[in-house]
A and B are shown apart, each in its own frame.
Chain A
Amino acid sequence: EAGVTQFPSHSVIEKGQTVTLRCDPISGHDNLYWYRRVMGKEIKFLLHFVKESKQDESGMPNNRFLAERTGGTYSTLKVQPAELEDSGVYFCASSIQGFTGELFFGEGSRLTVL
């Protein structure tokens, strides 16, 4: 069974450009989460989808970040326009159950904004 997959693994862009990260959860997992780790700090929650609906987006830093999950399958996280402080590793995770469910993480997408 395939795990959570993320693409790209590494992206280098200039300030002001746009980047779109993609996450494919484990098949059958309705819950999908985005997290990020910036500058070696803590891993911070960004948002949570249940199928195609945003359950909790309280961790999204600002309106330059847009997450979608059309059809309740894969998800995209777009950063537009990117700023220097957006650099970090963006992790996606999925779980079967949103409540007391074990999280499975992808390998992360490393974003570098120059």
Chain B
Amino acid sequence: GIQVEQSPPDLILQEGANSTLRCNFSDSVNNLQWFHQNPWGQLINLFYIPSGTKQNGRLSATTVATERYSLLYISSSQTTDSGVYFCAVEMSTGGFKTIFGAGTRLFVKA
């Protein structure tokens, strides 16, 4: 089946720093989403981005579908950005199953 790999697995930032999270996937996909799981366990939609670039405030994402990767940029990080960031892809074949990566655990220090 499709493999979804996220890097880095863990990341510690000083408040105000920038970071880039990466998601690689092994096969063609129909769509890709980025989620933030906050410390309370809620999964928050960040981006629905099968291709191209989108921006939302301090966050932006770029997916290059032909090269099978997506990047999530966090600028001027804040302590509230802490949590786990998941990349999830919907496979092109075998139904509409969405596969999650293992996540990047981010901790932003004050």
Write out the residue numbers on chain B whose beta carbons fall within 8 Å of the beta carbon of A35.
100
Give chain B interface residues in 30-49, CB to chain A under 8 Å.
30-31, 33, 35, 40-43, 45, 48
B43 touches A98 (CB 8 A): no
Q: Encode contact with A along B84-109: 1 for CB under 8 Å, 0 otherwise.
A: 00101010000111111111000000
A105 partner, pick from B31, B40, B45, beta carbons under 8 A: B45
Please provide the chain B residues from 3 to 23 with a CB less than 8 Å away from any CB of chain A in the complex.
none
With A99-B30, A100-B31, A100-B90 in contact, do A45 and B43 touch (Cβ < 8 Å)? no
Which of B42, B97, B100 is the one whose CB lies under 8 Å from A48? B97
Which of the four size classes fits the interface of chain A?
20 to 34
Give 1 or 0 for each of A18-44: 1 = CB within 8 Å of chain B CB: 000000000000010101000001111
Which of chain B's residues has its CB closest to A98's CB? B96
How far, in whole Å, are A103 and B87 apart by their CA atoms in the complex?
A: 12
B43 CB contacts on chain A under 8 angstroms: 91, 105, 107-108
CB within 8 Å for A102 and B31 given contacts A89-B41, A91-B43? yes
Where the two chains meet, the residues of A that have a C-beta atom closer than 8 Å to any C-beta of B are 31, 33, 35, 41-45, 48, 55-56, 58-59, 89, 91, 98-105, 107-108, 110
